[in-house]
Structure formats: C-alpha cells, structure tokens
Structure 1
Amino acid sequence: MSTVIPPLPVRDGIPSPQPDRRDGGGRGPRRPRLYVLDGLRLIAALSVVGFHWAGVNLHPEVWGQKPKTLMPTVNAVASYGWTGVQLFFLISGFVICMSCWGRSPREYFVSRVIRLYPAYWFAVIATALVVNYAVTVRPSRKPLSISDVLTNLTMLQRPLWVPEVDGVYWTLWVELRFYLLFAVVAVMGLTYRRVLAFCGIWTIIAVITPYTEIGLLDLLFLPNDAPYFIAGVALYLVYRFGMNPMLLGVIGFSWLLAQNRMHNTLGAYRHEVGFDLSWKVTAGLSAVFFLVMLAAATGVFDRIQWKWLTVAGALTYPVYLLHQEMGWAMIRWGRDHGITPFPLLAMCLAAILLLSWLVHRIVERPLSAWLKRMLDSRTLSLPKLDPPVRRR
C-alpha cells in the first residue's frame, strides 16, 4: 500500500523540501534508496562496453575483421552503445547534486577524490601493463612511457597533451570540469534558488559559447554535454522538492538542446563505426533516458528495492575504466585460440565483471577509506605556529 504525500507548501514561489527525504528531516516516512540509479549506471556501462567490443569497426585487428562483417546484427545494435555516456552524464548531474547537498566544500572535494581516484589509479597501471607488455592488439598503438603513465595518474592528461592510457578516460576530463563548475555554487551553499539559477546561467552560456569561438569558454562550459548535466541537476531538484512547471521546463529545454547537439556528436562516432548513424535513433534514446530519469526522480521506481543493484552500481566504475584496452586484448587472445565470437564476448564480460568486483573489494574500498581518513578535516590540521616573540 503506497503512502500519499501531502502537497508541498510553497513560500515565495519556492517549494519546501520533500518531507520524506532519506536524511530523516521533516515529517512523513523516508523515501527509499534509489536503487534504480545503480541499475541505470550498470546499463549505461554495459552499453558502452558493447559499443567498444562489438560496435567499433575502426580497429579490425581486434577481431581479425570488422565486427559489422563478423556479426552484423550485433554490430548494428552495439553501434549506438556510446549513448550510454549521455546517460552517465544525466545520472552524474543528479548524484553530484544529491551527494553535495548539505555538505561543506571540503566534504564535497573529499567525496569526489575518494570516489574517482582509487579505482582509477589501479586501472591506469593495469591497463598500461596490458598496452605495453600484453598481446599486441593494435600495432598502431605506441607503448606508453613512464612519464605518460605517471601523468595519467593525475587524471589531467588531456589538458597536459599527454596520450591517455585508455581512450575511455576522455569522459573523466568532462566530469572533472562539471565538478569544477558545480563547486562554484557548492561554495556559496546549495539552495533551491541558487541551484536553479546555476542551471539557467549555465544553459545560456553553453548555448552562446560555440558562437564566440573562444576556446576557453568551450573548455569550461561543455556546450555539447552541458544539457545532460543540467537536466540531471534539475532532476535532483524534482526528487528533493517535487515537480513544478519551472523544473519540468528546465528538463524539457535541456533535452531540446541535447537533441540539437547530437548532430555534432554523431560525426565523431560515425568515424568509429564506419557508417552513418541515425539521428532519430540517438534522439529517441536520449528522450528515453530523460523520461526514465524523470520517472525515477518522481518515485515511479521506488518499489524497486533489489539489494544486488547496490553491488551492480559499485562495479560500474571499474567496468568502465577497465573494459576497453583490456577487453580488446582478451578478444584478441580468445580469437587467436579459436573461440567463436559470442562465447568469447560472454567470457570477456564475465572476466571484466569479476576483475571489477575484485578491484572494488580489494583496491577501491580500502584505499577510499584510507584516503578519507587522510583528507578528513579532523586529522589534517594546520601546523601550530609559535607565538610571536615580544620585543622588549
């Protein structure tokens, strides 16, 4: 039997927070954990895995021939798997706003460091070993220097013009820039008005940035990806404060911009898949992502309380970090040993999931806990200064 939540009080046009927040504040029951977000993250990660393993025709040396020749039906579907990145960005906008609300800027910084770096450091080192010393997957891929690997550990290899250990890491540079932008409003303190103003101002700047031809603006304000992050932030406002016409307008307007920017994105992925991709399909998938996230924010999926989704969500980040170069190496090895495509795909997926679980348990969790202790404000304090010496 579902609980009916009374209408939210509105003061000066601003809705009060949902009374059933998970932090226990206010009246009414707590809303359950959004397990569906963990499931959506897994779907996004697996779609990107499918794209790189079966949708990309740019590297026929992985399979010995182009996937569209080897498995045409799978390739046709997997060629749209890159849209999982857009779903990731939507979820990221939602989750960052949720995890930052009520926290200090320091807590916001610490939460991002301990979330991003432990698994990433392992992935950089492990992938570099595969690229440099494992089976040769792509003859065009040059070995990585020690300096390249060390620079990749900063996650700032793109602005430093250093080759990425794994090509999928480009999205992390996008995420870092979003975190930087959101930190501005986080420092001021998150309120409904400020976050909504942030969404509006960022939307305007992202729209006009391409016409300014100023590279710095393009770098900072992410005109192609901004609509997804902005919509994700607005969706969290829906989750926290309830639906209203203003938030629905922000989300709908963001999708309109997203479908327009999709034309720019398609060009890059056409190069990788080797044929024209349908704007209708990609825009339709984007619309589905927006609608599913809106349903999650409004409580449609609150009944989904499958505990295993928490584990699935925890595996998502390691899967994303490890799957491309390592996956290609495994595919090449399996092909050389005569394993047919579909059993090989299943074996590679099982191996990546197992490795990701091990990374989460053995590397990510203990290293994150250690980093948190190191960065905790209670353990890091300013050095004590000697009292000034008074002159007589």
Structure 2
Amino acid sequence: MTKRRLNELDLLRFLAAIAVVIFHYAFRGYAGGNMSVMPYPLLAEPAKYGYLGVELFFMISGFVILMTASNNTLKHFFISRAVRLYPAFWVCCTITFIITLAIGQPRYTATFYQYVVNMTLLSDFMSIPSIDGVYWSLFVEIKFYLLISVLLAFKKIEKIETYLVLWLLISAMTEAFSFGKLRSILITDYSAYFIAGATFYLIWTEGITKTRLSLLIGSLALACYTAIVFAKLLETIYPTQFNLVIICSIITIFFMTFYLIATNKTIAIGAWNWTALGALTYPLYLLHQMIGFMIFNIAYPAVNPHLLLWGTTALMIAASYIIHKKAEVPISNLLRKLLSTSLVRVRG
C-alpha cells in the first residue's frame, strides 16, 4: 500500500524553527551577555525552552532519513543529502558573511578563509569557527547521515531495527559512563531523538511491535536524561533556572505527537498543505540568528523592541521564502544533475 505524504511533518518543521527563532531573539541573544543588546522580558521565560526545537528537528530527521534510505541506494542517498544540505546553506552562509562584514563589527567578525571553509560544511571537523552558531546542528546531522551511509554501503539497512536497539543500548552506557570518543562518533547526546524518529517510521510503515515500543520507551528515557544533563549545563551559562518537569513534558509531547502521526491519527491536519512552511524552514534556521542579533544591536533602543523582534522575525521568514524559491530550488536542481552525471561517469 502506498503511504500518504505526511504534510504534518512540514508543519512540525516550521514550529520547531519558530521555537528556535524565539529562543534566540527573546532569550539567548541578551541572556548570553555578548550576542544582542536587546532584552525581551515579556517572552524570555517561556522562550528559554525554545532550544528544544532542535531536538524536534532531530526526531523529524530520524523519521525522514530512514524513509529516504529505505528506498534508495548509497549513491542516491548521498545525492539527496547533498542536494538537501548545500544549496540553501551556501546562500545563507554567504548572506550572513556579507552582512557580518557590513554591520557586524566590532561585536562580530569573520574572515574570508573562515567563510570558504564554512562553505564546505566541514568547518567543525577542521576546528574552524562557524559563521553562525546554529550550524552546530548540521554537523550532528552529518554524523547521523554517515551512520546511515555505513548501513547502506554494507546493505544492512533492512536490519535497521537491530542496529537501533544496539545504538540505544550503547548510547545509554556511553552517557552513563562518559566514554568520550564513542560519545562523539555515535552522537549519543542526541541519538535518542534519531532513534525515536526512525522507530516511528517503522511503526508508520510496518506497525507497532513490542521491540518498537521498547525502543520508544528507552529513547524517551534517554532523551529526558540527556536533556536534564544539558539543562544543568545551560544553567551554568545563562542566568536562569530550567524547570526539569517542563523540559521532560515537552519531550514527551514530541513523542506523543509522533505516535499520533505514525498511527495515522493526524490525517485531518495532514490534509492541509503545509509544504510552503516546511520548505522555508531550513533557510530560516540558517539565516535568522546572527543577522537578527546584528539588526537588534544597530536598531535598539531607537526602535521599539516589539516592532524590532516581530518585524525581524517576519523579515527572516520572508527572506527565507525568497531564498527557497529563487535560489535553493534552482541550485538544487542543477546540483542534482551535476552529481548524478558525475557519479555515473565515475562508475563508468
């Protein structure tokens, strides 16, 4: 049976992105002390939990990437990920770099060498600072892609459920006993979200089983544990206290939402076309943080903070839509053709 397109995932992507935007604009920038000069106390308290939008992104990725990998070869998987990651990133990184040079000083600086390395999406692996701090999550995603690529290369993707169980068990032990190198390779501080997303995909396609239910329970427990550890770390960075019950409740809501999606209880929401919102999510995530902070630092306090925050948010959404339509789509089409042709020639 052909499965329907899950339009509700596009809505989830957008909500996750907006949560991160509000986290940065209403809390992170000012609370960090050296990012933005504009406080926004009206939303600061709820906005500080918006960073969990990234964890929701990772759950969505676990679902979608397994969907992509299950129906493709390693070659097609590589092309799909490159086409997904690079075009919007190239455009947004370039825009952020230019604006940083134009209005960022003295608070923000960037070098041409830094920009060139960033454009490869390998800056983290080369210990070169990112042009924008939000890029950190892309390096987590890339590690996840590499793990899936290994399974594709050895034609083991059909055994994914077994590997998800192993990944969860190793992640739990690694987090409990702090095995440094293994923690980095297997991204164990975020693996619970990828494992959960992939498990929900299996439930969506093949139904729920005791093993999959156990995977979800274990993933939820690990996700809450790592989230609590991270919240304690954030409290040493920001002048605030996080409510651990709220954090675990939000994560539980993520799991409940995905369960409803995987068991086709959200068809009414999926009947709406959320594709446009989902499409602008990636450019919005890449573009908003540093540019927003630079706008705040120039315009505040001359401009009303409410107008500044919501006006900048609207500007970023509009810019992201234009980038998607006018740049990301045509570059993606061209890149897909080039990669497909190149890989065929190499194989030949």
Same fold (TM over 0.5): yes
1:215 aligns to what?
180
Matches within 5 A, 1:157-172: 157-172=123-138
Q: 2:242 aligns with which of 277, 287, 309?
A: 277
Quote the RMSD (CA, aligned, Å). 2.0
1:145 aligns to what?
111
Shift of 1:182: 1.3
Could you list the per-position Cα deviations for residues 227-251 of structure 1 after superposition, in whole angstroms to 9, with x for gaps in the alignment? 0000111010001101222211111
SS at match of 2:300: helix
Q: 2:205 aligns with which of 240, 245, 265?
A: 240
For 1:333 and 1:378, how far apart are their aligned partners in 2?
46
For 2:81 and 2:328, how far apart are their aligned partners in 1?
13
1:9 aligns to what?
none
Could you list the per-position Cα deviations for residues 327-376 of structure 1 after superposition, in whole angstroms to 9, with x for gaps in the alignment? 1122223325x221222222111110111011101111001100110111
1:96 aligns to what?
65
2:346 aligns to what?
382
> Is 1:251 paired with 2:216?
yes
2:311 aligns to what?
347
For 1:313 and 1:368, how far apart are their aligned partners in 2?
16
Letter in 1 for 2:183: D
C-alpha distance 61-208 of structure 1, shift in aligned 2 (>3 A): closer
**Over alpha carbons, which structure has the higher Rg?**
1
Shift of 1:268: 3.6
TM-score normalised per structure 2: 0.94
Could you list the per-position Cα deviations for residues 29-67 of structure 1 after superposition, in whole angstroms to 9, with x for gaps in the alignment? xxx3211100000000000000000012334566535x2
Shift of 1:324: 0.2
C-alpha distance 63-210 of structure 1, shift in aligned 2 (>3 A): closer
For 1:330 and 1:275, how far apart are their aligned partners in 2?
25
1:327 aligns to what?
292
Q: Is the 8 A contact 2:93 2:119 kept in 1?
A: yes
Shift of 1:123: 1.3
1:371 aligns to what?
335
SS at match of 2:31: coil
For 1:315 and 1:39, how far apart are their aligned partners in 2?
11
Query: Which is bigger in relative contact order (C-alpha 8 A, separation at least 6)?
Result: 2
Q: 2:267 aligns with which of 302, 305, 308?
A: 302
Matches within 5 A, 1:127-206: 127-136=96-105, 139-141=106-108, 143-189=109-155, 192=158, 194-206=159-171
Could you list the per-position Cα deviations for residues 247-292 of structure 1 after superposition, in whole angstroms to 9, with x for gaps in the alignment? 1111111001111111221134324542111111111100000110
C-alpha distance 267-133 of structure 1, shift in aligned 2 (>3 A): farther
> Is 1:120 paired with 2:86?
no
Letter in 1 for 2:102: Y
C-alpha distance 380-131 of structure 1, shift in aligned 2 (>3 A): same
Letter in 1 for 2:256: L
SS at match of 2:51: helix
Q: Is the 8 A contact 1:148 1:163 kept in 2?
A: yes
Identify unmatched segments of 5+ residues in structure 2. none
For 1:295 and 1:190, how far apart are their aligned partners in 2?
28
For 1:191 and 1:317, how far apart are their aligned partners in 2?
27
Identity across aligned pairs (percent)?
30
For 2:35 and 2:150, how far apart are their aligned partners in 1?
44
Shift of 1:160: 0.8
Letter in 1 for 2:239: G
Larger mean CA deviation between 365-374 and 272-281 belongs to 272-281
Q: 1:49 aligns with which of 7, 21, 40?
A: 21
Q: Is the 8 A contact 2:36 2:294 kept in 1?
A: no
C-alpha distance 379-179 of structure 1, shift in aligned 2 (>3 A): closer
Larger mean CA deviation between 152-161 and 315-324 belongs to 152-161
1:37 aligns to what?
9
Give the number of the structure whose residues are more often helix, by fraction: 2
SS at match of 2:217: helix
2:253 aligns to what?
288
Identify unmatched segments of 5+ residues in structure 1. 1-19, 23-31, 385-392
Letter in 2 for 1:64: V
Larger mean CA deviation between 339-348 and 219-228 belongs to 339-348
For 1:330 and 1:140, how far apart are their aligned partners in 2?
12
Q: Is the 8 A contact 1:101 1:190 kept in 2?
A: no
> Is 1:226 paired with 2:195?
no
TM-score normalised per structure 1: 0.83
C-alpha distance 231-117 of structure 1, shift in aligned 2 (>3 A): same
For 1:118 and 1:112, how far apart are their aligned partners in 2?
11
Larger mean CA deviation between 181-190 and 231-240 belongs to 181-190
Q: Is the 8 A contact 1:102 1:190 kept in 2?
A: no
SS at match of 1:157: coil
Larger mean CA deviation between 301-310 and 114-123 belongs to 301-310
Q: Is the 8 A contact 1:97 1:236 kept in 2?
A: yes
Letter in 2 for 1:373: K
